[in-house]
């Protein structure tokens, strides 16, 4: 199938609305909630209500968390631009406003993408409208998600969950948490499943909130599970342990969330580029897109180089989302997009701080904040190094045991 790299016309109203929200609602409160860490941005409640209204009207395709459902195939194989592509485009625009506030949006948690990707039809209907954070990382278990120690043991009609999860985005504010746990440590990756746990369930408690470098508007929690009992129907997808399938079921979640995180990095980097271009222009430095970079000032040449890097990250992000919409396996492309956008996002935002000098380093502008926010986008949902390892395995046709 062929991909058209032009922005789909049907998404332009959605993207335009997202840009207006970013400029008029998120930017004005960006510094406020960066300083007031852990204080819930109440202004987002009105924005969430607007999105709910759009959803009910059918005018918001891609405004919420979409999923990668590998088991579905379009009978006519028609090439389409769907919810995944719309999501990354609108998320990029929202993060042009503020990444931390986007991550604080009610009912738009990373756990919602997990539900959309893995849940069966009954679960999708039952969990519609929840706000779900996602709990993967554990103390001593960083990038290797397959080494998860949190356990889930079936006891009658319930699973009993025990373990500790750290760095859970929206872990305090979300009303549900998608918890990754193993049914049997001896069976390795294949036994890892995800469970939806409602807030207030006995045995589940938020232990602490983290103080962070960036995305300070978003709460990041440590959650403890002690004999936490959840209905067995809250296991997302199939409870069967398929050793042949291995980790594929759980990893389908990342095929969706990694392009979303790439889109966040793309949006934050775009904000830095736009402001830096304006600041350079105010200083008398014009960037001419019709002349070779070597014939322009060092500052203009640097901006042009960053623009080209940004374009590569943006196109990789669109490709990964487009493939998901067309039910094409996109694990390689999702990791490529995440790796490129995460690295480029940090490089661009820091370079913009450098180009802007004292203005970039001070709180006069948001450049220093974007530089702080962007770093996490190169870390969570799989670090830069892990993404490169995944890409290498896919390209070389090697397993995780063959290439570590």
Give per-residue pLDDT as tens, 43-66: 999 888 877 765 554 444 443 455
266-310 pLDDT, tens per residue? 999 999 999 999 999 999 999 999 999 999 999 999 999 999 999
User: Between helices 248-282 and 331-356, what is the axis angle to 10°?
Assistant: 20
- Evaluate if residue 404 carries a pLDDT over 90: no
What residues contact residue 234 under an 8 Å CB cut-off, 6+ apart?
Answer: 123, 159, 195, 196, 197
Are 177 and 228 contacting, i.e. CB atoms less than 8 angstroms apart? no
231-263: pLDDT as tens digits? 999 999 888 887 666 565 567 778 888 999 999
Nearest by Cα to 178 from 56, 65, 321: 65
Catalytic center residues: 381
Mean pLDDT, to the nearest integer, of 5-18? 88
The average pLDDT across 301-330 equals: 95
Distance between CA atoms of 123 and 140, rounded to whole angstroms? Answer: 32
Q: Are 144 and 383 in contact (CB under 8 A)?
A: no
Binned at pLDDT 50, 70 and 90, residue 114 comes out as: confident
40-78 burial code (b ≥16 CB/10 A, e <16): ebeebeebeeebbebeeeeebbbbbbbbbbbeeeeeeee
Percent of the chain whose pLDDT exceeds 90: 75
Look at 373 and 238; give whichever has higher pLDDT. 373
Closest CA to 208 of 192, 191, 220: 220
Q: What is the mean pLDDT of residues 213-221?
A: 97
Tell me the average pLDDT across 212-218: 97
Give the pLDDT confidence of 64-112 residue by residue, as tens digits: 455 555 555 554 567 788 989 999 999 999 999 999 999 999 988 889 9
- Same fold? 9-126, 248-396: no
What are the Cα distances from residue 145, in Å, to 128, 189, 251, 337? 27, 9, 9, 20
Phi-psi region of 77 (alpha: psi -120 to 50; beta: other; left: phi over 0): left
Does 35 have pLDDT greater than 70? yes
Domain 248-396 has CATH 1.20.140.10: yes
The whole-number average pLDDT for the span 312-332 is 94
pLDDT in tens, 122-143: 999 999 999 999 999 999 887 7
**Structural domain spans, the chain:** 9-126, 132-234, 248-396
Residue 60's pLDDT is what?
46
Give the pLDDT of residue 53: 65
Residue 23 has pLDDT above 60, yes or no: yes
Q: Looking at domain 132-234, what is its CATH homologous superfamily?
A: Butyryl-CoA Dehydrogenase, subunit A, domain 2 (2.40.110.10)
pLDDT value for 64: 45
Residue 104: both structure tokens together: 């604080």
d(CA 352, CA 354): 5
Show the tokens assigned to 361: 């380093």
Q: Are 30 and 102 in contact (CB under 8 A)?
A: no
Instruction: Annotate 146-210 with DSSP letters as a single string.
Output: GG---EEEEETTEEEEEEEEEEEETTTT-SEEEEEEES-GGGGGGGEEEEEEETT-TTEEEEEE-
Predicted confidence at residue 226, as pLDDT, reads 98
Q: Render pLDDT for 219-233 as a digit per residue (tens, 0 to 9).
A: 999 999 999 999 999
Architecture of the domain whose range is 9-126? Orthogonal Bundle (1.10)
The mean pLDDT value of the chain amounts to 90
What tokens appear for 400 in the block?
A: 């995780």
The phi and psi torsions of 199 (rounded to 5 degrees) equal -60, 145
Measured CA to CA, the distance from residue 195 to residue 178 in angstroms comes to: 5
Distance CA 389, CA 257 (A): 18
């Amino acid at each position: 199938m062929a991909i058209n790299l032009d922005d789909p016309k049907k998404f332009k109203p959605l993207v335009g609305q997202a840009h207006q929200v970013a400029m008029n609602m998120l930017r004005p409160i960006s510094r406020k909630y960066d300083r007031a860490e852990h204080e819930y941005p109440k202004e987002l409640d009105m924005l969430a209500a607007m999105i709910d209204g759009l959803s009910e009207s059918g005018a918001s395709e891609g405004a919420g968390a979409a999923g990668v459902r590998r088991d579905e195939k379009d009978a006519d194989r028609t090439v389409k631009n769907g919810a995944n592509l719309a999501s990354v485009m609108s998320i990029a625009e929202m993060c042009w406003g503020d990444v931390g506030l986007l991550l604080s949006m009610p009912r738009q948690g990373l756990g919602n993408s997990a539900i959309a990707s893995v849940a069966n039809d009954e679960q999708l209907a039952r969990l519609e409208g929840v706000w779900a954070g996602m709990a993967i990382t554990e103390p001593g278990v960083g990038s290797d998600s397959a080494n998860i120690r949190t356990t889930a043991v079936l006891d009658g009609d319930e699973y009993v969950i025990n373990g500790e999860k750290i760095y859970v985005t929206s872990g305090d504010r979300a009303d549900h948490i998608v918890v990754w746990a193993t049914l049997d440590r001896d069976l390795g990756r294949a036994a890892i499943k995800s469970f939806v746990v409602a807030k207030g369930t006995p045995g589940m408690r938020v232990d602490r909130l983290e103080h962070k470098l960036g995305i300070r508007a978003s709460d990041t929690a440590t959650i403890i599970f002690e004999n936490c009992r959840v209905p067995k129907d809250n296991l997302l997808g199939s409870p069967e342990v398929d050793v042949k399938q291995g980790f594929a079921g759980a990893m389908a979640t990342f095929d969706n969330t990694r392009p979303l995180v790439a889109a966040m990095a793309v949006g934050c980097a775009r904000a830095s580029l736009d402001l830096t271009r304006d600041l350079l222009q105010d200083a008398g430095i014009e960037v001419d897109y019709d002349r070779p970079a070597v014939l322009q000032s060092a500052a203009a040449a640097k901006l042009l180089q960053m623009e080209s890097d940004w374009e590569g990250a943006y196109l990789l992000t669109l490709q990964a989302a487009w493939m998901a919409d067309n039910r094409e396996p996109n694990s390689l492309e999702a990791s490529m997009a995440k790796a490129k956008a995460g690295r480029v996002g940090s490089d661009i935002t820091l370079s913009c701080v450098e180009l802007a000098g004292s203005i970039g380093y001070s709180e006069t502008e948001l450049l220093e904040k974007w530089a702080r926010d962007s770093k996490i986008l190169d870390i969570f949902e799989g670090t830069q190094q892990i993404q490169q390892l995944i890409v290498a395995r896919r390209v070389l046709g090697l397993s995780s045991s063959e290439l570590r």
